[in-house]
Amino acid sequence: MSSSTILMPGSVSLQVLQTMYWDSPAVELHPDCRPGIDAAAALIARAAQDTAPVYGVNTGFGKLANTTIRAEDMVALQRNLILSHCSGVGAPLSEAVTRLVMSLKLISLGRGASGVRGEVVDLLTDMLAAGVSPVIPAQGSVGASGDLAPLAHMTAVMLGEGEAVYGGKTLSGSAALAAAGLSPIVLGPKEGLALINGTQVSTALALAGLFQVWRCAQAALVTGALSTDAIMGSAAPFRPEVQALRGHQGQIDTGLALRALIEGSEIRASHRSDDERVQDPYCVRCQPQVMGACLDVLRFTARTLEIEANAVTDNPLVFTKDGTIVSGGNFHAEPVALAADQIALAIAEIGAISQRRVALLVDPAMNFGLPAFLSPNPGLNSGFMIAEVTTAALMAENKQMAAPCSVDSTPTSANQEDHVSMAAHAARRLLTMADNLAAIIGVELLVGAQGVEMRAPLQTSEVLSAAIKCLRGEVDALGDDRFMAPDIEAATQLIRSGAIVEAAGPELLPDL
């Protein structure tokens, strides 16, 4: 683990959130948070001694909110809440996502509006530092009243229940804590509710999807430029004057990036005149318009998720300034669900236009003089024929998964929670879609590089040559047919890891 990242709840930046996801550092709340946390906990402690009903402190939960809980049962109430809500199913979240969930929960609790004691915050912090990662089943949240089931699985480990990964092994919660030199906690009034109310699982999954997709989007600009040069396409549609007349920032940024990537290409210079073609197909010519719109959507959702990552989303909320405890609805993850739906649409569109460029490059009727399926000896060899079919399959799969989840509400909890966001699986599918997208762009990297190399002795730009060199460090140019799957996987990994973006030069590409 790297050294701790200090978090100031309410102002954790998107850049820090990206570091938290990619690098999984240990994190700590800024010391200035502690007085607010302690003040809110004291207010809850006083409410627990009062007879006035306060939701989740001395009452039951959900439809059982009208049930009064005796003071001597309050500890059992919180423990029972966690154990009963550990109802998740499915494969566990990745360790990177789990650690982001825990960190986001720390940020929320650190705002001092949840009423938990400092000991709760300390245990979460210590678990992150020690590398204790709860096993959190991915399915079971409808994204309203918080991500109840998955967050309960996180919290269970804090009680010595459930399971956690520690030192690369899956252990019982109690064994994992003991191995890390930590002790389970006994939850006080409202603390169980504060830990499982909240949108942290949905938000972490959406952020993970966003960060992976942005890498893919940047890589798609590199592969789009490669494909443009490979088919001897025109860079004129990328001129800044064209984009300025439209005015969308993403389109402007995309046009600038494509021109910078192709600048200095001998291939481009070779067909500036005497080219009988008037216009390129839309998948080449309209890259600024399509990719730009996707970048704008991703940036918009990034702002939404940055706000959500800093939010207090449990219930009830504790206001220490006036001494009130208020039941609200911040646990409803509608902003995350809508953001995830928009990210899904962007993924589908980036993949769709990339796939069309793959199809263009392997088609001898459209690729301006390149051999069929980019094989040096087509007929005896099939070249990239079925690699293109694979991209079509992945594109179709992503289109189907891009259907909105946020419109599919259903009543739960005996109609008390009668409108829900479905944010958790809206966000979770983004990771699968991002993997599909990386594979589509990986295939475009393969065919774009192959097509450019077939234009020899003409050379592409220095920037794109660097991207090809990065690829050739992992995958040789295709001659006779060979077992193709490892080539696609290697190229896909270059997209996922950001290696192609690093090779081409991230300074040429738009930032999130």
For residue range 433-449, list pLDDT tens digits in order. Answer: 999 999 999 999 999 99
For residue range 500-511, list pLDDT tens digits in order. Answer: 999 999 999 999
Tokens standing for residue 137? 């089943």
* CA distances, 453 to each of 268, 287, 439, 450, 501 (Å): 14, 22, 21, 5, 19
- Give DSSP secondary structure letters for 8-51: -TT---HHHHHHHHHH---EEE-GGGHHHHHHHHHHHHHHHHSS
What is the predicted pLDDT for the residue at 307? 98
The average pLDDT across 410-414 equals: 86
The average pLDDT across 227-251 equals: 97
What is the predicted pLDDT for the residue at 1? 42
Q: What share of the chain is helix, strand, coil (3-state, %, to 5)?
A: 60, 5, 35
Q: Evaluate if residue 124 carries a pLDDT over 70.
A: yes
What does the alpha-carbon distance between residue 10 and residue 14 come to, in Å, rounded to a whole number?
Answer: 12
Confidence of residue 141 (pLDDT cuts 50, 70, 90): very high
For residue range 310-353, list pLDDT tens digits in order. Answer: 999 999 999 999 999 999 999 999 999 999 999 999 999 999 99
What is the predicted pLDDT for the residue at 266? 96
What does the alpha-carbon distance between residue 267 and residue 227 come to, in Å, rounded to a whole number?
Answer: 12
Q: Which of the pair, 175 or 415, is modelled with greater confidence?
A: 175
The average pLDDT across 171-181 equals: 98
Q: Evaluate if residue 418 carries a pLDDT over 70.
A: yes
List the end-to-end C-alpha distance of the chain, in Å, as a whole number: 26
Q: Evaluate if residue 496 carries a pLDDT over 90.
A: yes
pLDDT, the chain, mean? 95
For residue range 157-167, list pLDDT tens digits in order. Answer: 999 999 999 99
For residue range 367-405, list pLDDT tens digits in order. Answer: 999 999 999 999 999 999 999 999 999 999 999 999 999
Q: Evaluate if residue 64 carries a pLDDT over 80.
A: no
What is the predicted pLDDT for the residue at 412? 87
Contact 118, 39 (CB under 8 A): no
Cα 83 to its chain centre, rounded Å, is 29
DSSP H or E run through 195: helix 191-196
Confidence of residue 3 (pLDDT cuts 50, 70, 90): confident
DSSP H or E run through 449: helix 423-453
- Residue 400: partners with Cβ closer than 8 Å, 6 or more residues away: none
* CA distances, 242 to each of 169, 239, 277, 296 (Å): 56, 6, 20, 17
Catalytic residue positions, numbered: 55
What is the predicted pLDDT for the residue at 349? 98
β-bridge pairing 324-326 and 317-319: antiparallel
